[in-house]
Amino acid sequence: MKAEEVKGWNVFKQIFADHWEGFKRAYPRYSKSHYDEQVKKMLSCGNPEEMGYIRYLCFRCGEGKRVVSMSCKSTMCLRCGKVYVDEWVGQVSKMLHEGVIYRHIVLTVPEKLRKTFYNHAEELLGKLMWSGVRCLDDFFSRVSRKEIRGGYIVVLQTHGRNGQYNPHVHIIATSGGMDKSTGEWEHLEYLPYPMLHKKWQWYLLEMVREEIDTEEIEGLVDSCYRGYPKGFVANVQKGKVPGRYESLSRYLAKYVVSPPISLRRIDGYDGERVRYHYRSHKTERVEEERVDVYTFIGRMIQHVLPKGFKRIRYYGVQATKTFEQVKEIIQEALSKVKRVVKGAIKIIGQKRYRERYRESTGKDPCICPHCGQEMDVCTIWHPRYGVIYDEFDEIRRGKYEQKEKEVFGEEGNGRAIRSSSEGVQLPLFSMWN
């Protein structure tokens, strides 16, 4: 079976449909309701009867109709990956300060510690993100010799290219920050990377030592200090992140919000084994793996984060609580440092669902394929809440005036109509004509 969709079903879903129950029995750790919920949502994705839907009708010609299924919002769903990317793009657009230069920084966890993070995910993953922020604040302050308050958008990623457990954080960081004593903006052009490697090693290891106080961890921390004399890997894009909004967002999205694997990378499934490919970090060549289905499912399900965990967090001058307050201060500070503004990020507003779909397919989802006029929302239904909105019920209750709801004659053909609307914007992805 190839990794292609057949009647709305794909090979990734098929693997989980065939073996999920057996996998849970074999690995009781993943029998918790949280994992089961994510998988069931993914298996139901694309089915409007199970996920809910919005029905569009054309009240002008009476022929056009379309049902749009709501997305499942499962982190396991490959079909919803495009939705996640688009939401991330919009989220970034709202949380960057215009005129500020940003850098993309990746802080890694060495292979020796990955098992520890896997077994203690609830205790360590959140602290991992916070440790990265503390490390960079200290690093920027040491370099500038001032007490700097930077801005950080921190995103946790737990998978490597081959799907194995590899926790690390991606950080969109201001290139410098505000001097806490003077309120002036301090831009840092030169960053001594060897210092950053050592600092990241110290912050990470001391955090692990503090959170898990056992003799085993104590020995593991000591061995990491001895085994990595130059510190841990901290990749910093040498220049600025891409200066345009779209390029920045798309550049980061493929790292931070994409599922562990995509459908195009699954090359085959015979009911017992899965074959997929990836580009190796070590060789920079495309490598192929053949694994049994339980190994494959385990590599995918292990990346489901603890319930309620926020994988995107904002700190410093990017913190959501103080964003608007700090925004004016930053703009005033930047006006005094013209050189910083050159090549800085320019923010563009968040795109709505209709725009995203139009860009992706070249078609407008709300235009009637028969008469070319804009269709209207007819029904909104959710499995949990039932009918949320019913246009015909609104008409029956006399909400609209007679002249708006009825047109008689050759053009209207006696069909109920109403003026066009923008429709209701909900997280949607799938369409059925």
Tens of pLDDT along the chain (433 residues) come to 444 443 346 899 999 999 999 999 999 989 889 899 999 988 988 888 888 888 888 888 888 888 888 878 787 887 776 666 666 766 776 777 777 888 888 999 999 999 999 999 999 999 999 999 999 999 999 988 889 888 998 989 898 888 889 999 988 888 888 888 888 888 887 788 889 999 999 999 999 999 998 999 999 999 999 999 999 988 887 555 544 445 555 666 666 666 788 888 999 999 999 999 988 877 778 999 999 999 999 999 999 888 888 888 899 888 877 777 777 777 777 776 554 444 444 444 445 667 766 766 677 878 888 888 888 888 888 888 888 888 777 666 665 544 343 333 344 333 333 333 333 333 333 333 3
User: CA–CA separation, 408 vs 383, rounded Å?
Assistant: 36
What integer pLDDT is reported at residue 394 of this predicted model? 66
pTM for the whole thing? 0.76
What are the CA-CA distances from residue 15 to residues 86, 203, 250, 292 (Å)? 27, 40, 29, 11
- Calpha distance 313→154 (Å, rounded): 5
Which tokens belong to 204?
């990470």
Long-range contact list for 352-359, CB < 8 A, 24+ apart? 352/425, 353/425, 353/426, 353/427, 353/428, 354/422, 354/423, 354/425, 356/82, 356/86
Interatomic CA distance for residues 324 and 318, integer angstroms: 9
Give just the sign of the alpha carbon dihedral 77, 80, 82, 86.
Answer: negative
Q: Cα 39 vs. chain centroid, distance in angstroms?
A: 18
Q: How far is CA 68 from CA 45, 58, 72, 337, 425, in A?
A: 12, 14, 12, 49, 11
Q: Could you please report the per-residue DSSP string of 159-225? A: E-TTS-EEEEEEEEEESEEEETTT--EEE-----HHHHHHHHHHHHHHHHHHHS--HHHHHHHHHHH
Residues 385/377, Cβ–Cβ less than 8 Å: no
Amino acid 377: pLDDT: 84
Number of other CB atoms surrounding residue 108 within 10 Å: 17
Asked if residues 188 and 176 have their Cβ atoms less than 8 Å apart, the reply is yes
Beta-bridged to residue 174, according to DSSP, are: 102
List Cβ neighbours of 428 (8 Å cut-off, separation of 6 or more): 54, 68, 69, 70, 71, 353
DSSP H/E element including 432: strand 428-432
Element (H, E) at 48: helix 48-51
In whole angstroms, give the CA distance from residue 361 to residue 25: 42
Going by C-alpha positions, the residue among 149, 127, 154 that lies closest to residue 137 is: 149
Q: What are phi and psi of 81, to 5 degrees?
A: -55, -40
CB 223 within 8 A of CB 112: yes
Instruction: Identify the pLDDT of residue 344.
Output: 45
Q: What is the CA radius of gyration of the chain?
A: 26
For the record, the structure tokens of 95 come out as 């949380």
| Domain definitions of the chain by residue range | 46-75+355-432, 97-260+303-346
CB 187 within 8 A of CB 101: yes
Q: What is the pLDDT of residue 198?
A: 95
